[in-house]
Amino acid sequence: MEKRQLGNSDMKITSIGVGAWAIGGGGWEFGWGPQDDSKSIAAIQEALDHGINWIDTAAVYGLGHSEEVVARALQDRSNRPYVFTKCSLVWNDRREIGHSLKADSIRRECEASLRRLNVDAIDLYQVHWPDPDAEIEEGWAEMARLKKEGKVRFIGVSNFDVEQMKRAERIAPITSLQPPYSLLARDIEHSVLPYTAQEKIGVIVYSPMYSGLLSGAMTRDRVEKFPADDWRRGNPNFQEPLLSRNLRLAGLLGDIGSRHGRTAGEVAIAWTLHNSAVTAAIVGVRNREQVSGIIGAGDFRLSEKEFDEIESALAQEVLEVSSADD
């Protein structure tokens, strides 16, 4: 599988990595409903066996549970992948989530993540959200101290805009940015990606299949049967009128993929990797079967003609939805 250097680091990462958001399980504000840990572990191991060499998780995923599952998946592997995690989202005894970029809070989070992941150092430690905005400088300075102490190897940010990245860079270099990016979430194309390319900041995008919506496996019936605590229930893209449009787009991705023996999800991921400013894409998997539906994206690339075909279809769909709203 193709590997690319991540920003200013010495890490050469595969063009897709394992995302561990959903495997955190249910029972928290941004959960995906109940998950089977044994299937999650099998999915991680299957992905690594196919050559993926990095995993992205966060302390808040399942309120620590995702990191614990990742550790269990890696405990008997001699060739360990890079492990990335995040800080800044904290919770209390009532499982209520809040934001903090205070230095002492970040340090406590780092120590807790090191214990849960059972690693001596975190390969990439990322600020999950730039919130509170007024604490960005304090938080980033502490991230730099953790790097200097060897508790983390490299530091990055997630969901930052250009001005927030500039503020952080006055304190210490940014190795990478983690933003959302897919056919259905393209805001970063206007200013963020040009800036990261200019500054040589690595970009690992999340939700390239828009949380499964563009995977080719999503159906209206499946959406209706989401667990009550699945965060996607409240997302407009999983509701009408956008749901029908998005399922049609997924159908087009499936048609393009069928020409190459690829899935719709692999085409959706390849679409994000078509942008030269993107280093790699994070892909969530919860069982072995899902790995087989995405692993080909590591090497599959769209032709310019296929890319234009997708762009034209999206433009037409947006126009039709806008006309219906009027």
Cross-strand partners of 230:
32
**What secondary structure does DSSP assign to 83-110, as a single string?**
EEEEESEEE-TT--EEE---HHHHHHHH
Q: Nearest-CA neighbor of 286 among 144, 73, 120, 132?
A: 73
Burial class (CB in 10 A: 0-12, 13-18, 19+), 225: exposed
CB 85 within 8 A of CB 122: yes
Alpha helix ranges (H) inside the chain: 37-49, 65-74, 103-117, 136-149, 162-169, 192-199, 220-224, 242-258, 264-273, 288-292, 304-325
Q: Of 249, 253, 207, 251, nearest to 232 (Cα)?
A: 207
Q: How many CB atoms lie within 10 A of CB 220?
A: 12
Hey, which residues are catalytic here? 61
- Cα 215 to Cα 254: distance, rounded to the nearest angstrom: 9
Cis peptide bond upstream of 241, omega within 30: yes
Q: Is-contact 264 278, C-beta < 8 A?
A: no
- C-alpha distances out from residue 194 to 16, 19, 190, Å: 21, 25, 7
